[in-house]
Chain A
């Protein structure tokens, strides 16, 4: 029973990180129907930026009180901002010029950008895993099952999802994003600048990856230049599992895959985790081709 609780905590925390990344895939897909393969590497960039910020603040291990709060806030905002800007740059350079090209073209440049980022990150911090300071102290909740870091990561993901739902469905920017997603010409006819709206969508998606990068860096206390490769693939799977283009679906998919991975690793063995994840993905897509929460419509935002 104690083991079950521990894996539940692991799975939810891992799922929360997948969910945060999946939200970015889903937002971008929703508006430009592009699988942004570079998204996972933006997430890695976030964990590197977090390391830079924590180092600059002189943090080498657990922080407490005001310093903890300051460190968390600065690292979150800094990473979100840096990743948001990076995502905008990627869109501007690699995707926008291909806006009206056949769908395959930006998909290829996305893979290219992913390679470039991975190599740049490797040049920056080397090929080996890097330690990130623990930062978050270790009080336990719910009979000692959940650590503070786990609870924080899960709460962060859930709060972010609700904030995103609010943004997309209750604000003018969100309305414009949905309009551009549904009919770009019609949006232009009512004065909506699609370039600006799409750039802002990338900014938000990048910021979410930055938040995820900060959270995972601090939670796992490690990162490396290929961190986003596997996590990106799993998160993309989460977005598809939940129904790509669907915000709640991305979150649900993320948690499902995190839990599945944690429990498979604990019971059958870590080498089976990916097998389990993709088996479930295939099974779900056979029964529900549009994902758990997807609809029949070409599902956009």
Chain B
């Protein structure tokens, strides 16, 4: 049921266009990757879905048009967003950050236990101020906070940013578990290798436009993609 349909989406910042006529779709239960160089418009796309930036064109989530809705109400429709740079409430505790993610107050404790089960580390850190955590721990909180809303669609903006390889592997393993439980996902990544092995399909953005899309495996073996996003080395 939780499918996303984007048609002819345009975003611009004070006359400078960041996304031009982007159309894409994500089916229920799918995990797709969004690749592109710095400034390609990946974050803008996720921010448009979440209602953080104004856009033209149409975005429909489960048949509901999101255009004109405030961001808070889009989140409550079941769209979780782990933003670029994590954006935790740095002066609040891990527990408070997580509790804020859940608007169904009665479900808070149960969901928090779920997050702690996924990231044992956070249980020990529950009463620590979020800003004092390591980068990896902060990413776990950011992910946990989005999960607290029990999203049907999860938007992930560079979850691997600035993390050590083992932590990246761990985060993607957890994302795999979450996906396996039926959550639809869009993963934006600089780390194209991790994203393409995680997702089943991918879109490639360049200068605000979709220039390629297709099966993740096909893209991972495509010489131009390898050249541009996979460091030019075939493993």
Contacts and interface: CB of A to CB of B under 8 A. Distances in A.
Contact-residue size bin, chain B (C-beta under 8 Å from the other chain): 20 to 34
A51 B7 CA distance: 61
A62 interface: no
A188 B103 CA distance: 12
Interface stretch (B82-90, B187-195, B211-219): B82-90
B168 interface: no
A182 B92 contact: yes
A179 B89 contact: yes
A194 B71 CA distance: 10
A172 B105 contact: yes
A178 interface: yes
A194 B88 CA distance: 16
Nearest to A180: B89
A244 to B, nearest CB: 16
Residue from A175, A183, A189 whose CB has the most chain B CB atoms within 10 Å? A189
B91 A191 contact: no
A189 B71 contact: yes
Contact of B87 (A178, A186, A192, A195): A186
Contacts of A183: 87, 89
A191 B78 CA distance: 10
A176 interface: yes
B81 A189 contact: yes
A268 to B, nearest CB: 42
A232 to B, nearest CB: 28
Interface stretch (B19-27, B93-101, B119-127, B174-182): B93-101
A185 B74 CA distance: 13
B100 A175 contact: yes
B223 interface: no
A297 to B, nearest CB: 7
Interface in B6-36: none
Interface string A160-190: 0000000000001001101100110111111
Contacts of B52: 185, 188-189
Interface residues of A, number: 19
A190 B81 CA distance: 8
Interface in A192-251: 192-195
Contacts of B96: 175
B89 A182 contact: yes
Contacts of B146: 189-190
Residue from A178, A183, A186, A297 whose CB has the most chain B CB atoms within 10 Å? A186
Contacts of A187: 72, 89, 100
Contact of B89 (A178, A188, A297): A178
A187 B83 CA distance: 11
B92 A189 contact: no
B75 A179 contact: no
A183 B72 CA distance: 13
A192 B145 CA distance: 13
Nearest to B80: A189
A172 B102 CA distance: 11
Given A189-B50, A189-B71, A191-B103, A175 B87 contact: no
Interface string B60-87: 0000000000111101100011010001
A191 B76 contact: yes
A225 B167 CA distance: 63
B136 interface: no
B149 interface: yes
Contacts of A185: 52, 71, 83, 87
B91 A297 contact: yes
A178 B89 CA distance: 8
Contact of A191 (B72, B87, B89, B92): B72
What 8 A-B pairs come out closest when comparing CB atoms?
Answer: A188-B71, A186-B87, A191-B75, A191-B76, A193-B72, A189-B81, A191-B103, A190-B101
Interface of A: 172, 175-176, 178-179, 182-183, 185-195, 297
18 contacts: A175-B92, A175-B96, A186-B88, A187-B89, A188-B50, A188-B51, A188-B70, A188-B71, A188-B75, A189-B52, A189-B87, A190-B75, A190-B100, A190-B145, A190-B149, A191-B72, A191-B75, A191-B76
